[in-house]
Amino acid sequence: MTTLNLLQSDIKVTSIKESEFPGMYAVELASGRSLYATQDGAYVFSGTLFKNVDGTIVNVTEEAQKKVASLKLSGLKEADMVIYPAAERKATITVFTDVDCGYCAKLHEDLPVLNAKGIEVRYLAFPRAGLESETYAKMVSVWCAPDRRKAMDDVINETPILKIDCDSPVADQFEFGQVLGVRGTPTIYLENGEMLGGYSAPERLVEKALAATAK
């Protein structure tokens, strides 16, 4: 679409389809964001589309973004994650984490409570300081460790671990998080694609995670 290319030359469009707004098309980008455009592409706007459904306001844009995020996350390999399973799984949350993040450590302390309530926690790496940082090296060591959960526990508790290097998914996960729009940690995704930015108390997180599976 010429107008989009004029706005940003490297913009990547994954789909264009009719939106719920008559005469407008929803343009889905690789990042999961949505733009809206006229059929001829002459007019493009970036914003949030709301719809009145029987007196209830529905955020159409947010719902579309949740579907994209859920689809992208469901395509990831669990073998590339650090997973803390629940004995009786009722819901799953996917967390972009940073081992040097204070609120990530606080969330990590809540894992026994979350697991006991049936919430499985899947970690993806998001070293906020970038791929040249000491945090990145620590996270590579965690992902390369024979026992990832123990290595993660040790690093969070500031216990030294063996420095290891391997063909890890840490860099790919960091880039994937940026594509999704992750800017800080912890960033938590529910099964329905809803994103929770920052730390959430375990009671609220359990409630939100269970509710997301029912939708």
Residues with Cβ within 8 Å of 77's Cβ and at least 6 positions away in sequence, in order, are: none
- What is the separation of C-alpha 1 from the centre of its chain, rounded to a whole number of angstroms? 28
H-run or E-run covering 50? strand 50-53
Q: How far apart are CA 140 and CA 153, in angstroms?
A: 14
Q: How far apart are CA 144 and CA 168, in angstroms?
A: 6
Active site residues: 98, 101, 104, 128
